[in-house]
């Protein structure tokens, strides 16, 4: 009998090579069970710092820590067999210096076993991206709307409406590509700007609230599944309403417990019958 074929994880090189060939399918994942369910369908799983809002009820992602990202990165790696896994670097873990970014990125790679890291920032982070990528740390860049900058950018809003904003986002995307990022997330950016960036870059673009012309798309899985109801961004398409299903299931369970119909006999352990 031949040994079962081992599934090979998609590499950074494979993701980069999808530019212009095949759309990149990406979703966030934060736990082992969710990673197992999403993995067969995704090219890339992102352990996003959005977990602070989705799982921990934080108002923004700013309070997410490096230890939190590593713990959830480990969890996702236990459930992912074939998707490329990228872990977000949280706010404050890379902005101080390129050396700080390298130390913390190496810690993420070593302690989770993931394939690369993601960090937010454009031209101002180009030197750091170059420093990391030339030292063996694959970097997924992130331009446009940057949630970690929400306190200074005026909140969550679409960018690129003005010529100044559009020019800056395009320059940021070009800078991170030149610096060595293997791909770039474009978030919350008006469609024509995101489209033009995607057509101009040699590396893949992954859109979230951007353009269908991007080389791939990413969504927060809980948004896509209807599990996160704090708010629903315009760019989210709900493929299920699991939140309502969970609530109804809990209501049905509560009713059965209060009525005494659960647990029934089939849900309990009965004494073994003695042989005659």
Which residues are part of a known binding site for Mg(2+)? 49, 88, 120
Q: Name the binding residues.
A: 49-50, 88, 118, 120
Annotated active-site residue in 127, 187, 241, 265: 187
111 is catalytic: no
**105 in Cβ contact with 89 (< 8 Å):** yes
Cβ atoms < 10 Å from Cβ of 234: 7
Site of tokens 């509560």: 254
Which tokens sit at 226?
């209807």
Q: Which residues pair with 146 in a beta bridge?
A: none
| Furthest CA-CA distance within the chain | 89
- What are the C-alpha distances in Å from 150 to residues 59, 169, 188, 239? 11, 16, 12, 28
**89 in Cβ contact with 104 (< 8 Å):** yes
Site of tokens 């990149």: 24
**179 in Cβ contact with 134 (< 8 Å):** no
Q: Name the binding residues for 3-methyl-2-oxobutanoate.
A: 49-50, 88, 118
> Any idea which residues carry the catalytic annotation?
187
């Amino acid at each position: 009998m031949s040994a079962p074929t081992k599934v090979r994880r998609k590499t950074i090189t494979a993701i980069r090579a999808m530019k212009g060939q095949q759309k990149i399918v990406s979703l966030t994942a934060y736990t082992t069970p969710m990673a197992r369910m999403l993995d067969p369908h995704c090219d890339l799983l992102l352990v996003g710092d959005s977990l602070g809002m989705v799982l921990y009820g934080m108002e923004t992602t700013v309070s997410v820590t490096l230890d939190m990202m590593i713990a959830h990165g480990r969890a996702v790696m236990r459930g992912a067999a074939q998707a490329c896994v990228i872990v977000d670097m949280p706010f404050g873990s890379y902005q101080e210096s390129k050396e700080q970014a390298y130390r913390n990125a190496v810690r993420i790679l070593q302690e989770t076993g993931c394939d690369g890291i993601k960090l937010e920032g454009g031209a101002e982070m180009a030197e750091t991206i170059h420093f990391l990528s030339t030292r063996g740390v694959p970097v997924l860049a992130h331009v446009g709307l940057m949630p970690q900058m929400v306190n200074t950018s005026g909140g969550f809003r679409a960018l690129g409406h003005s010529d100044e904003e559009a020019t800056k986002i395009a320059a940021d995307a070009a800078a991170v590509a030149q610096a060595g990022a293997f791909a770039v997330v474009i978030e919350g950016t008006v469609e024509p700007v995101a489209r033009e960036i995607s057509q101009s870059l040699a590396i893949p673009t992954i859109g979230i609230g951007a353009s269908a012309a991007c080389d791939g798309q990413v969504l927060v899985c809980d948004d896509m599944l209807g599990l996160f109801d704090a708010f629903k961004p315009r760019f989210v398409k709900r493929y299920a309403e699991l939140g309502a299903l969970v609530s109804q299931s809990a209501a049905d369970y509560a009713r059965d417990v209060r009525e005494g119909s659960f647990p029934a006999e089939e849900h309990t352990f009965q004494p073994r019958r003695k042989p005659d």
